[in-house]
Structure 1
Amino acid sequence: MAGKGKGAKAAAKKRLEAQKLLADNRQARHQYEILDTLETGIELLGTEVKAIRAGKANLRDGFCLIRQGQLQLHNVHIAGHEQASRYFNHEPLRVRRLLAHRREIDKLRGQLDTKGLTLIPLNIHLKGSWIKLTIGLGKGRKLHDKRQEERRKQDQKDLRSALKRL
């Protein structure tokens, strides 16, 4: 019986590690209304993988484009790996190819034709041993929309705290 408990705990711990969040674009959910999300793979170099696992990725100014039928990730800064020499290190702001099925790319292309929509990287996470990027199809928020969203969140927070006091 004691063996089952250890195995269950180890399996739960392994699952948690398998879904580890490596980088998050918190600003994106504030500036954009996310309509749809898609999990894609990223074509990375070895030093980029090591740098991302060390938490050296910045998604804040990133965006995605569809060029020549391929999804591309632009303006995402992945710092150089400290242990690698300058010769073997990668370029921090290079354009990276995203890996998605043709049907998914075509669906996104159709949705992007709608005025005001853009593709934004939301987070980089581990799925098993693979590094995945979640991108979101977003519509830019106006200033009054941002204020309204802040007010709604504050009201929900106040309501939860009032319910806790009861």
Structure 2
Amino acid sequence: MSKKPSKDKANGATATKTIALNKRARYEYHLEERYEAGLALQGWEVKAIRAGRANIIDGYAYVRSGEIFLIGAQITPLIQASSHTVPVERRDRKLLLHRREIDKVLSSVERDGYTLVPTALYWSNNKVKLEIALAKGKQNHDKRDAAKDRDWQRDKQRVMRRHNRDA
């Protein structure tokens, strides 16, 4: 007896599940264009990611000889990791993008002074995908303005809730 396809797959939608988010990237950078990239992983890394042992907060991407690599991202190996390979938590991992995307990113990074920052790691159809963004660093006053706006929005919601409750 075959399985019935789920409603999401019947409509052509892809199932995604977030593994790790880089919330600090939104705070420290102005994020502009976003790209979805595949990751070249080893077997033990996929198992560790399934167990939720990935961290991309300290990671960033750079271009080397026409290819893009993710460095600084940590994937902690499981205790029962394979015995015939030596797991390295913070090795350089190759990102898989189309050539024209690489060329576009390369020109933005070299000419315009952008940085490539990982923003999310997620599953897409049983494949690990990384969302990277072209970003420019924020100044301290930009960070303070963002915090002030966030506080104002929170206070405004609080006042509106209190007003609606009394009415």
TM-score by length of 1: 0.85
Aligned to 2:139: 142
Is residue 66–residue 102 contact of structure 2 (8 Å, CA) maintained in 1? yes
Q: CA deviation at 1:87?
A: 3.6
Matches within 5 A, 1:1-166: 11=7, 18-164=15-161, 165-166=163-164
Q: Please, which runs of 5 or more residues in structure 1 have no aligned partner? A: 1-6
SS of structure 2 residue aligned to 1:94: coil
Deviation beyond 6 Å, 4+ runs, structure 1: none
Q: Please, which runs of 5 or more residues in structure 2 have no aligned partner? A: none
For this pair of structures, how many residues does the alignment match? 159
Of 72-81 and 115-124, more deviation after overlay is shown by 115-124
Offset from partner CA, 1:10-64 (integer Å, 9 cap, x none) = 635xx99931110111111111110111110000001000111111111111110
Superposed CA RMSD? 2.5
TM-score by length of 2: 0.85
Kindly, what percent of the aligned residue pairs are identical? 36
